[in-house]
Chains A and B, each alone.
Chain A
Amino acid sequence: MAIPIAYYLVLSAILFSIGVGAFLIKRNIITVFMSIELMLNAVNLTFVAFAYQWHRLQGQIFVFFVMVVAAAEAAVGLAIIIAIFRSRSTLNVDQVNLMKL
């Protein structure tokens, strides 16, 4: 017997909400970054769940795209984080609210 789709959706919503909450609460850039990954993956989960439900491939394909974007984002984002840390010696987001140094 198949697991109802609602379960997947509820799990995805929980994961997404955790991501949003962490994004809002955490001050460490790396943690903020991880919460973004969490939100992306929550969305991926819904994609896969719906793709399975409707027997369509598009959802699965889209997940690959999201993963590729996430990987690229991680690479660029981590590079930025390192650059920020080098220049400001801090990873607290509240202290990097100025464009100029």
Chain B
Amino acid sequence: MNGNPSLHLWLIPLLPFLGFLLNGLLGRRLPNAVVSSIALLFTAAPLVVVTSIAFRFSTLTLPYVERLDIPWIQTSTFRADFAFLLDPLTLVMLLVVTGVGFLIHIYSVGYMAHEDGYWRFFAYLNLFMFFMLTLVLAEDFLLMFVGWEGVGLASYLLVGFYYLRQSAADAGKKAFILNRIGDFGFLLAMFLMIAHFGSLSYAKVFGAIAQHPEMQGGFLTAIALLLVLGATGKSAQIPLYVWLPDAMEGPTPVSALIHAATMVTAGVYMVVRSHVLFDRSPFALGVVAIIGAATALFAATVGMVQTDIKRVLAYSTISQLGYMFLACGVAAYSAAIFHLVTHAFFKGLLFLAAGSVIHGLGGQQDMRAMGGLRKHVPITFLTMSCGVFAISGIPPFSGFFSKDEILYRAFLSPAGGPILWFVGVVTAGLTAFYMFRLWYLTFFGTSRTPDAHPHESPWVMLAPLVVLGALALGGGWIGIPHALGGGDHFAHFLDPVLRHPAPSYEQVSMIMNQQGVAQAAAASAPQAPLRPEGNDTQERIFSLISVAFAAIGWFFAYLLYCRKPGLADRIAERAGAGYRLLEHKYWIDQIYTAVIVTPLLFITRYLLWGAVDSGVINGGGFIASGSARGLGALVQRIQSGNIRSYAGWLAVGAAALILITYFGFTMHP
């Protein structure tokens, strides 16, 4: 469609799918070494393809769309194609998904070595890669939805990987059902788009919006809010976040890949991808910002008192996703994607390192039983420290730059404000507190289970840790803002996507007729993304403030969990109700159970099952079958086997026909 060589984008998602088919169908009979080679090969291959595209990226005409010849769905009014889109945003996502995905696959080879269902695990993991890459590459909301649903399926399968454990099976179902609620919103949004734009292709929908500058709010708000509902499900935001902490029942590499680095960021990606829609609906943007800020603060407070190492990380993931939502809500899309990238690095790293700790302790996940591991697992300790520093926003680690960008933009943006900024900064302090709490509890002090013999993990697990550690350290340097001596390269790289689409020719000429040439020229120039200008000094001050908050968090963690162990427990006792509120995660699960699950079960059991199913459906069945049987019993008498009775019926029938014919003709001449 343009002068580009064919890039064969379809290969990228299809390769992992091939791996899934091979492992899924034959894996049971293959030795573990073959299974892991297949899985690694088919995750490395898309990484190679993506990397080669990345190297040629500057020579391509963008956006590059690859459309398969065969239409997928075709009706008289609606058409959907298998179309893949490549633009800077897609490339960033592809690099993150394939890169981090490949590293986590390598790690899994070591982590899952002694587990049953080895082949099953890798088949599911490859299946996840297939769907995630489809989601990212799609040029169409419908194809994106396929990937969206698919990653939900893969997530369900992997959360419930230890399906013999009741809690794991329940967690899988919980994740799936809560995602379904979000997907319902996504579906409705797509229906609205079909109704209003007649298409689901990005180009057509966003193009149609660009051609009508008068389109503001209204149904666009409805579509945007429904999309947000979908995003809150997938990205674990208030009110649908409750599945993510439970999803930690899955194996740790799954938590790292799906529930930290990639899948849960799909909601953020989707919002950024449809930013044209959101820009036209300030209300929806406000909702996104408030959801994000509230979730960030809320999850961070819960994370402070969790004792399971993976649950702390789960709540911190929710909190960081809240940051990304906050960034989207203040129209700082590039900052959201920047944080998405650095978060994929450091949170993937943190989960993998936590997995290495758990592995080294033989399955222990409770931080209260850890301590003093620094000497036993030195490499895990070093790499995890990178992650902790990064997420806490300590310069020059990656998290500092991305988080700082979000906070600064939250303050400056017309959609943001001091309140959102303040919530963000407080959350940054809390984040530093609970991450350093984890750090001190796990690695410092003396071991609290003296009979444990922790051992360092094999190199197949440590190598990905080291790579991710380096990325968590340096991954943020691609987006250092001007104020701190960088070039803000990341945001500029994404500019072509986040720019508002140029208006059409007709529209420009309309403006020219009405308002004159100057306005038309101004309108026809592609608009730069909304980026409020602040001065460099201001930005530096904001950086200092957020670093100060992080340092305060660090200091308190040091005081409570390293300097004076035991003080934390006394404070917890003193705080009483407040502590219990946090410990029980604000009783949200219990509230949901009481308000939604119990009434739903009641309705299901007594109304749907008791009345509708047993009464109406079964009753209807009985009536239908009973009447058929009764009629049969009546009519079967005719078929007596007596020839003369048959002949009699024949004669009666013939006589009746004659009578009907005769009288029929006389009555209707």
Assembly CA distance A94 to B651 (angstroms): 18
Quick one: CB contact mask for B195-235 with A, threshold 8 Å, 1 for yes?
A: 00000000000000000000000000000000000000000
Q: Which residues of A contact B (CB under 8 A)?
A: 20, 23-24, 27, 93-94, 97-98
Beta-carbon contact of A93 and B651 below 8 Å = no
Cβ of B577 under 8 Å from chain A: no
A-B contacts besides A23-B644, A97-B642, 5 pairs, CB < 8 Å: A20-B651, A23-B647, A93-B644, A94-B642, A97-B643
CB proximity to A under 8 Å, residues B605-662: 641-644, 647-648, 651
Q: What's the least CB distance linking A46 to chain B, in Å?
A: 14
Report chain B residues within 8 Å CB of A23: 644, 647
Q: What's the least CB distance linking A7 to chain B, in Å?
A: 20
CB proximity to A under 8 Å, residues B533-568: none
Whose C-beta in chain A lies nearest to the C-beta of B655? Answer: A20
Q: What's the least CB distance linking A98 to chain B, in Å?
A: 8
Question: Which 4 A-B residue pairings sit nearest by Cβ, starting from the closest?
Answer: A97-B641, A20-B651, A24-B648, A93-B643
Assembly CA distance A94 to B641 (angstroms): 9
Whose C-beta in chain B lies nearest to the C-beta of A98? Answer: B641
Q: Which residues of B contact A (CB under 8 A)?
A: 641-644, 647-648, 651
Beta-carbon contact of A24 and B642 below 8 Å = no
Report chain A residues within 8 Å CB of B648: 24
Beta-carbon contact of B643 and A24 below 8 Å = no
Report chain B residues within 8 Å CB of A20: 651
Whose C-beta in chain A lies nearest to the C-beta of B648? Answer: A24
Report chain A residues within 8 Å CB of B643: 93, 97
Query: Can you list 16 residue pairs at the A/B interface with Cβ under 8 Å?
Result: A20-B651, A23-B644, A23-B647, A24-B644, A24-B647, A24-B648, A24-B651, A27-B644, A93-B643, A93-B644, A94-B642, A94-B644, A97-B641, A97-B642, A97-B643, A98-B641
Q: What's the least CB distance linking B123 to chain A, in Å?
A: 59
Q: What's the least CB distance linking B162 to chain A, in Å?
A: 63
Report chain B residues within 8 Å CB of A98: 641
Report chain B residues within 8 Å CB of A93: 643-644
Assembly CA distance A46 to B647 (angstroms): 22
Assembly CA distance A49 to B437 (angstroms): 117
Whose C-beta in chain B lies nearest to the C-beta of A97? Answer: B641
Assembly CA distance A27 to B643 (angstroms): 10
Report chain A residues within 8 Å CB of B644: 23-24, 27, 93-94
Whose C-beta in chain A lies nearest to the C-beta of B640? Answer: A97
Report chain A residues within 8 Å CB of B642: 94, 97
Whose C-beta in chain B lies nearest to the C-beta of A96? Answer: B643
Assembly CA distance A97 to B642 (angstroms): 6
Report chain B residues within 8 Å CB of A97: 641-643
Q: What's the least CB distance linking B101 to chain A, in Å?
A: 72
Q: What's the least CB distance linking A37 to chain B, in Å?
A: 15
Assembly CA distance A98 to B641 (angstroms): 8
Whose C-beta in chain A lies nearest to the C-beta of B651? Answer: A20
Report chain B residues within 8 Å CB of A94: 642, 644
Whose C-beta in chain B lies nearest to the C-beta of A93? Answer: B643
Whose C-beta in chain A lies nearest to the C-beta of B641? Answer: A97
Assembly CA distance A76 to B641 (angstroms): 23
Q: What's the least CB distance linking B643 to chain A, in Å?
A: 6
Report chain A residues within 8 Å CB of B651: 20, 24
Q: What's the least CB distance linking B657 to chain A, in Å?
A: 14
Assembly CA distance A12 to B644 (angstroms): 23
Q: What's the least CB distance linking A40 to chain B, in Å?
A: 15
Q: What's the least CB distance linking A70 to chain B, in Å?
A: 18
Assembly CA distance A23 to B649 (angstroms): 12
Whose C-beta in chain B lies nearest to the C-beta of A29? Answer: B643
Assembly CA distance A97 to B647 (angstroms): 13
Report chain A residues within 8 Å CB of B641: 97-98
Report chain B residues within 8 Å CB of A27: 644
Report chain B residues within 8 Å CB of A24: 644, 647-648, 651
Assembly CA distance A69 to B648 (angstroms): 23
Assembly CA distance A97 to B641 (angstroms): 6
Assembly CA distance A23 to B648 (angstroms): 9
Assembly CA distance A94 to B643 (angstroms): 7
Assembly CA distance A24 to B643 (angstroms): 9
